[in-house]
Structure 1
Amino acid sequence: MTERTPPSLLPTDLPPRPRRILVVEDSPLNQMLVTAILAQAGHRADTAGNGLEAVMAAQNGGYDLVLMDLSMPEMDGLTATRLLRDLPGPAGRVPVIAMTADTDATDRARCRDAGMNDHVAKPVDRAVLLETVEKWLRAAASPEASAGFGPCTGAAPAAAGEVLDCEVLAQLAQDLDADLLADVLRQFVEETRERVARIAAETDRAVLTREAHTLKSTAGTFGARALCGAARALEMACRASLAGSGGPETEGDGAADAVERLRSEIPRLAGDAIAAYRAAGYPV
């Protein structure tokens, strides 16, 4: 007599495998809450405290979905998502769901343009979170499915190029051997950190002009596209303020505002560029 497998042990009745989810959130309390909700639903959750940690973790692959906070130190969620979308293979196509308290049309567009697939509002609602997670886990497993912002493959592939100019880096890789390229990039990063610190602290417009000019040149040489653009804008704003003023007390408000805005923005852009080099595999 042939033995039959009991119905309860048939493969089709086995529970689905736990999905591996990366929770990117700088608040330890929010990390605990979200990971607890996911664990109750049978998922495995790892955590990252900022966007840079997320990119470093996700580039190794193995995640089925990423839950991404937007406002974080070191690197925000939008920048991290742009870098994720530039990763090769499945790691670059993993669904990314924004977790944000800002859910109006403008914020949704920012998330979509960065390559995110959907969003859940904060404070997190358990049912909404799990429903959104399950929707995108199904979508990832079924390419013909569509929902939310669109399929993972719909992420703008050029978005990560806002941080680094891949053509410049590719040309450097042709011109220099790997060890030399790594050495000069490390030197560029070290010098950039020092120069950015001086820019953040300096108030003399003539000195700022020189520092911005040099940063524009070096950032352009090593493909730090966004940083190069900001340095160029800072140089122009400093020149405009010097040309149009008889002294700090009379310079135009527009030029002064632009200088201060760019001085505060450049450190973040430098950090984004350094993180992007690392995510691309350069040992800087």
Structure 2
Amino acid sequence: MPSPLLPTEPEPTAPRRILVVEDSPLNQTLVTAILAPAGYRIETAGNGLEAVMAAQDGGFDLILMDVSMPEMDGLTATRLLRGLPGAAGRVPVVAMTADVGDGDRARCREAGMNDHVGKPIDRAQLLDTVARWLRPAAEREIPAPCAAAAADEDGGVLDPEVLTQLGQDLGAELLGEVLRQFVAETRERVERIAGLSDLALLTREAHTLKSTAGTFGARSLCAAARALEMACRDGAAAPAEALRGDIPRLAGEAIAAYRAAGYLD
């Protein structure tokens, strides 16, 4: 009698490859900490030029693309990606941006981006968006329009809900590590902001500070950086100068508040 056939084991599925394009090492760490435990293989690039070079050979299933970056911004990089031949030019690109107004969304779409997630990064939104764009096209649900970010509420230097969620996402040890990195990066950025007179460069620094401060729950500092960015974009030199003077004090208050809350030694 012939021996019965043994059931065959399914072939293991390779992890889906995601390229995270982000000039802030802190945001790279945070996005990786959220996505890697979900089984995704994460690679990073520090600006749009690096992203285009990494994507040329194909192999990525999804690209998460910051919009405002030095060397080459995310919109320019996406336009170049869409010109690549084959699968490399068709890979879904999801913007990661703190700017979620109608005009910002339209610019992302015009550049060839498929969707976007807001900053500060929300874990559930990021995971849902990534999962949606990794499904076959016929199975994707059409996302609802993203709402604009809520205005900051007057409630203290730090946002405890953001920090609680980060603690759940990252764990206490990793949260302490990234907060120390945030403090070091913020001190360097505050020094650069103090020495800049070029409004275009000041806009970029304020934009990044707004994003990282929001990500790590530095509510007052985030609001001031947002106001500084808007003043710079409007060419309002006098208001920008006044706002710039507040940044060192608010950064110091945020650092002191982290220590008082036990997040930093």
TM-score by length of 1: 0.47
Cα distance in structure 2, aligned partners of 1:145 and 1:44: 21
For residues 102-121 of structure 1, give each alpha carbon's deviation from its aligned partner in whole angstroms, at most 9, with x where no partner exists: 11211111110100000001
**Quick check: 2:48–2:74 contact (8 Å CA) kept in 1?**
yes
- Alignment length, in residue pairs? 144
> Paired residue for 1:111, among 98, 102, 108?
108
After TM superposition, the structure 1 = structure 2 runs for residues 1-284 of structure 1, keeping only pairs within 5 Å, are 2-5=3-6, 10-11=9-10, 16-138=13-135, 141-142=136-137, 145=140, 147-148=142-143
Structure 2, unaligned runs of 5 or more: 145-234, 236-265
| Alpha-carbon spacing, 1:125–1:145, altered in 2? closer, same or farther (3 Å) | closer
Cα distance in structure 2, aligned partners of 1:64 and 1:86: 17
For residues 207-252 of structure 1, give each alpha carbon's deviation from its aligned partner in whole angstroms, at most 9, with x where no partner exists: xxxxxxxxxxxxxxxxxxxxxxxxxxxxxxxxxxxxxxxxxxxxxx
Give the structure with higher Rg (CA). 1
Aligned partner of residue 129 in structure 1, secondary structure: helix
| Alpha-carbon spacing, 1:30–1:147, altered in 2? closer, same or farther (3 Å) | same
Please list every run of at least 4 consecutive aligned residues from structure 1 whose deviation after the TM superposition is greater than 4 angstroms: 143-146
Cα distance in structure 2, aligned partners of 1:41 and 1:145: 19
TM-score by length of 2: 0.50
C-alpha displacement at 1:15, in angstroms? Answer: 6.0
Aligned partner of residue 31 in structure 1, secondary structure: helix
**Quick check: 1:20–1:44 contact (8 Å CA) kept in 2?**
yes
Cα distance in structure 2, aligned partners of 1:110 and 1:128: 21
| Identity percentage of aligned residues | 71
**Quick check: 2:132–2:141 contact (8 Å CA) kept in 1?**
no
C-alpha displacement at 1:143, in angstroms? Answer: 5.4
- 2:71 maps to a residue whose letter is E
| Alpha-carbon spacing, 1:40–1:144, altered in 2? closer, same or farther (3 Å) | closer
For residues 129-169 of structure 1, give each alpha carbon's deviation from its aligned partner in whole angstroms, at most 9, with x where no partner exists: 1110010010xx345756349xxxxxxxxxxxxxxxxxxxx
Aligned partner of residue 105 in structure 2, secondary structure: helix
